[in-house]
Structure 1
Amino acid sequence: MAEPGAAGGSPEPPVQVSIIVPVHNSECWLDECLKSVWEQDFKGTMELSIFNDASKDGSAEIIEKWKTKLEEVGVPVIIGNNDSSQPRGVGFAKNQAVIQSSGTYLCFLDSDDVMMPQRVRLQHEVAIQHPNSIVGCQVRREPLDSTERYTRWINNLTQEQLLTQGVPEDLLFFYEHLQKGGEVFRVNHCLLLYRYHPQAATHSVLEGTIWHHRVRFLEDRVLSSWTSFTIWNAGKQGKKLYRSLSPANQKKVSAFCDVDEKKITKGFYTYEESEERPKPKIPVCHFRDASPPFVICVKLDLTGGAFETNLDMLNLKEGMDYYHFN
C-alpha cells in the first residue's frame, strides 16, 4: 500500500472539524447523541473523537456500533479509553479527546446532548469568519419546563452581553480565553438540545467553587479599572459579594443601593466580620440616588420587568456604567 502522498496515492484531506465527546455511563442518551453526529449536513471533513471514561454500562458497545455507521459515511472515529475502575472526570475526558483529535476546529458535544443537523456547518462558517473566537449557539432544554428563565436569558443575550453577562459551565476555559484576547460569537439558531437531569456533570461542580472564580474574574476584568462603585442590592446577594471581595476592592464600594425602603431606612450596612476598627459602615441608598458604576446583584426576569425598567431609566451603558453579577 502506498504511503500518503507517494506516487499512485493521494494524501488524506486535513480534518476541518473534530467533534469532541466525553463519555461516562451514558448508555441511556448516547444513541441519540451519536445519531446526531451521523445526521450532520456538514460537507467538509469531520471526525468524531470520543473518550470513554471508565464506563460500566453499555456505552462501549454503543460507541462501537456508531463507529461502524459513521465510518461508512466517511467520518473517522477515534476512541480513547480509561480502563481503570475509577473515572477521571469530564474535564479529563474532554482533554483526552482533544489530544487524540486532529481537526482544525473543535466542536464540543456532551454525551447527553443532541445536535441539530446544521450545527457543525453553521458554527464552522462563523468560526472561519471570526478567528480566535469561541462560537456558541442558541439551545433548547429537555424537559422543556426546566430552567426556563436561564434558557430564555442565554438565548437572548446580545453580542455585547455575551462578554458582559455570559457565564458558561466551562468557566476557567472561558475566562482564560478572554484574558488572552479571544472573542465570543453566537449563531442565532437553536442548534443544540441540552438535557437537564440529576446525573448531569453540571451538578458535580460546587456552587462555592463557581462563585469564587466568578468573583476573581469580576475583580480582574472589571473592578481593576474602577476606582469606586456601587453594589446594586442591599440584601443577601449584595452583601455576600461585598464579603467575597478582596480588602482593596471592598474599600472601593461607595454604597449599596436598593428599592426596599426597609433596607434604605437603616442607612448603613456594617461589616461585622471585618478586623478593621472601627468596622466599615457602607451607606445604603435608593438606586436613583446612587452613583455609577454599578455591580448589579439582582437576577433578571424575576420582577415582572420592574427591575429592568428601573435600570433603563438611568440610561447607562452596560460594560461601562454597570456590570451584571447575578
Structure 2
Amino acid sequence: MTTKTEIPSIWPFTEQVCWSPVQLKDDVMMPQRVRLQLEAAAQHPTSIIGCRVRREPPKSTERYTRWINQLTPDQLLTQVFTSHGPTVIMPTWFCSRAWFFHVGPFDEGGQGVPEDLLFFYDHLRKGGGVVRVDQSLLLYRYLPDAATHSVLETTIWTHRVRFLEERVLPRWAAFTIWNAGRQGRRLYRSLTAEARRKVVAFCDVDENKIRKGFYCHEDSQERPKPRVPVLHFRAARPPFVICVKLVQGTGCSRPPWGPRSPCPSRAGPCGWVTAFTHSRVHPSSTGPGHFRPGNKDLTGGAFEDNLRSLHLREGQDFLHFS
C-alpha cells in the first residue's frame, strides 16, 4: 500500500482503496510504475493509463515499439482502428476498479474471443479516455512461443470494421479508401452496403491500378455491379481511410502478449486494476500490425512522405486502418 509521505498530493484519492498487482510471468515493471500511473489516474479517473515500454530483445518489433512509444495524445484516440489493437498496450494498463466494473468485465467467452480489444472498445464507447505516462515503465519481452491460445485475424478484422462503421463513418458523407490493393479492396467488401455507397474512390500510387481506372465489386448482388474509381492519391479527395500495408513478414496482425494472468474481476476486493494480460497470437494473420525481427519495410518511408505532403489533419481528414 502506498503511503501518504510517498504521494501526498493524491492521498485523498487513494485513501479508501488498495492496488492489486497481477504478477506477470515474462514482463518486468519498473519500481516507479505504480506511483506514476496512480498519479495519472488521479487526474484522469475515467481513463485507461498506459506507459512507454522497452523491448527485449531490443531490436524486436521495432516499428511496433515506436508506435507504442511515440503516439501523440491525440493519436491515442485516432489510431484505435489499426491492427495493432489498443493504443496503450494491455500489459501497461492501469485503471480504477470502479471504472473497470463500469465498463464491464471481460468477455470470457472462451478461446477465439478478443476480450481485451472488446473491453477497450467498450471503454471508448462509454466515454473513457486513453492516457500514456511518457516514461519507460515496463520491460516488454518478445516471446513468439508464449501464447496459450489464439484469436483469428479474421475475427479481429470484423470487430475493427464494425467499430469503424460505428464511430467514424456516420459523420462522413463520403470517403476514399487509400490503397486499391488487397487490403483496401478487402475493407470495401467488408463494409455494409450503406457504408460501401459512401466510398467514392480508391487511391494509390500503382500506375497499373490507376491505368485500369476502377475496381469492380464482382461479389455484389447489385446490378449493375458497383464500379469504384481508382485515382492517384493526389487526385483523390479526403477524408481517407488508410489501408496501406507497411511491412512484409510472417508476424502476427497484433502483438502476442504475456501469458494469461487472472482476470481482475477475480483479483480480490481492491481499488485498482493493472496489467490484466491475456496472451494472443494470430497464426492466420495477413495484417501489418505485428512485426518480427527482420521484417521488411515495404514503403521505405515513401507512404509517410506522400501522406505528409497533403497537409491533412489526422482524425478529421484521414484515419489509419492498416
TM-score of the two chains, using structure 2 as the length reference = 0.67
Counterparts of 1:77-156 in structure 2, within 5 Å, are: 103=17, 110-156=24-70
Shift of 1:109: 5.8
Could you tell me how far apart the structure 2 residues matched to 1:288 and 1:158 are?
Answer: 26
Contact 1:138–1:192 (8 Å) recurs in 2: yes
* Aligned twin of 2:312: 316
Retained in 2: the 8 A contact 1:295–1:325?
yes
Match of 2:117 in 1: 171
Query: Which of 219, 240, 243 is the aligned partner of 2:165?
Result: 219
User: Deviation at 1:103?
Assistant: 4.6
Report which stretch shifted further, 108-117 or 216-225. Answer: 108-117
Number of matched pairs: 232
Question: Larger RCO: Structure 1 or Structure 2 (Cα < 8 Å, ≥ 6 residues apart)?
Answer: 2
Task: Quote the residue 1:61 is aligned against.
Answer: none
Contact 1:16 1:103 in 2 (8 A): no
Shift, 1:293, TM fit: 0.4
Q: Counterpart of 2:137 in 1: which secondary structure?
A: strand
1:205: how far off?
A: 1.8
SS at match of 1:204: coil
Alpha-carbon distance between aligned partners in 2 of 1:165 and 1:277, rounded to the nearest angstrom: 36
Q: Gaps spanning 5+ residues in structure 2: where? A: 8-15, 91-115, 248-296
TM-score by length of 1: 0.66
Deviation at 1:310, TM superposition (A): 1.0
One-letter identity of the residue aligned with 2:316: M
- Where 2:234 maps in the other structure, the secondary structure is helix
- Give distance in 2, aligned partners of 1:108 and 1:171: 19
Given that 1:300 and 1:308 are in contact with CA atoms closer than 8 Å, whether structure 2 keeps it comes out as no
- Give the 5 Å matches for 1:293-312: 293-299=239-245, 302=297, 303-312=299-308
Q: Would you say the 8 A contact 2:202–2:230 is kept in 1? A: yes
Structure (1 or 2) with the larger CA radius of gyration = 1
Pick from 207, 212, 219 the counterpart of residue 153 of structure 2.
Answer: 207
Letter in 2 for 1:210: I
The structure that is helix-richer by fraction is 1
Contact 2:178–2:204 under 8 Å retained in 1: yes
Secondary structure (helix, strand or coil) at the match of 2:134 reads: strand
Residues 110 and 220 from structure 1, CA distance in 2 versus in 1: closer, same or farther, beyond 3 angstroms? farther
Q: Unaligned 5+ residue runs, structure 1?
A: 1-14, 18-41, 45-101
Letter in 2 for 1:188: D
SS in 2 for 1:269: strand
- Relative to structure 1, the CA distance from residue 220 to residue 106 in structure 2 (aligned partners, 3 Å threshold; closer, same or farther) is farther
Report what 2:74 is aligned to.
Answer: 160
Q: Which amino acid aligns with 2:203?
A: C
Structure 1 residues 106, 180: closer, same or farther in 2, change over 3 A?
farther
One-letter amino acid of the counterpart of residue 57, structure 2: P
| Percent of aligned pairs with the same amino acid | 66
1:184 maps to 2:98:
no
Aligned-partner Cα distance in 2 for 1:205–1:295? 24
- Deviation per CA, 1:221-264, whole angstroms, max 9, x where unpaired? 11121111000000011011111111111111000000111111
- Of 217, 230, 237, the match for 1:271: 217
Letter in 2 for 1:311: L
